[in-house]
Amino acid sequence: MIEISDVNKHFGKLHILKNIRLSLKEGECIALIGPNGCGKTTLIKSVLGMVLPNSGEILFDGRSINKDIHYRRHIGYMPQIGRYPENMTIGQIINMVKQIRNSDEAYDEDLYEQFGIEKLLDKRMGTLSGGTTQKVSAVLAFLFRPKVLILDEPTAGLDPLSAEFLKEKIIQEQKKGKLILITSHLLSELDDLISQVIFMQEGEMLFHKNVAVLKQETGTDKISKAIIQLLKRDQA
């Protein structure tokens, strides 16, 4: 569904993405992990067309993303730090995005209801706490029933109850056969969600493995333990 081939990105002297090659398919739930500043967000933003790679190509359903922006209809994106126009209220933001997307499909308002956004519609974005902003981002990401969900640190800043709602929602969507790409530092949170792991370090992709294979190789039962084992083995 998403093919990334030999993508390189430089920010000045920094080489942020080094020959990234990936193939992501429907129904997969992929965890993108790695230390801070390893290029996870840059990779995600490249897929969204917000960052333009210096070389390489990204295909969505077989078509280059540079040629046609309509592929973004099929993506729901939840940014790590949602930045929204400060003067607009939550209601105005949701309305605006609905009008821009102009989709005929019925909206998916599960999270909207669970998070109790209804009561907050008149609040200005500038006055919101980090957690509430995250809730708005989550609602917008799921609202249009996209085929692909890209979630950058989705549960960071959410209260435990809301994080649980979001997790359930992600599992529910995964069962519908959607492609889900998550970055997170909280590995324990991902355990019951993901089917594959991509590990990045300093702009390079170290491995892309099936979770079952990974656990078997390292003889552990938790992803977090498996990753730590692998890293230790690499260093040794």
Q: Which positions lie near another protein, rule CB under 8 A?
A: 11, 45, 48-52, 69-73, 75, 77, 79, 83-88, 93, 96-97, 99-102
CA distance 43 to 168: 26
Q: Which is nearer to another protein, 72 or 225 (CB)?
A: 72
Question: Closest distance between another protein and the C-beta of residue 201, in Å?
Answer: 22
Q: Which is nearer to another protein, 69 or 236 (CB)?
A: 69
Beta bridge partners of 58: 4
88 Cα distance to chain centroid: 25
| Helix 160-175 × helix 130-143 angle, to 10° | 20
Question: Closest distance between another protein and the C-beta of residue 131, in Å?
Answer: 18
For 185, the token pair is 């530092």
Q: What burial class does residue 100 get, using C-beta atoms within 10 Å of its C-beta: 0-12 exposed, 13-18 middle, 19+ buried?
A: exposed
97 Cα distance to chain centroid: 19
Q: Which is nearer to another protein, 11 or 207 (CB)?
A: 11
Question: Closest distance between another protein and the C-beta of residue 128, in Å?
Answer: 13
Q: Which is nearer to another protein, 95 or 188 (CB)?
A: 95
Angle made by CA atoms 7, 76, 110, in degrees to the nearest 5: 155
Angle made by CA atoms 1, 24, 160, in degrees to the nearest 5: 115
Question: Closest distance between another protein and the C-beta of residue 147, in Å?
Answer: 13
Contacts of 67 (CB under 8 A, 6+ apart): none
Residue 14 · residue 26 · CB < 8 Å: no
Q: Which is nearer to another protein, 138 or 227 (CB)?
A: 138
Question: Closest distance between another protein and the C-beta of residue 230, in Å?
Answer: 32
Question: Closest distance between another protein and the C-beta of residue 126, in Å?
Answer: 10
Q: Which is nearer to another protein, 13 or 83 (CB)?
A: 83
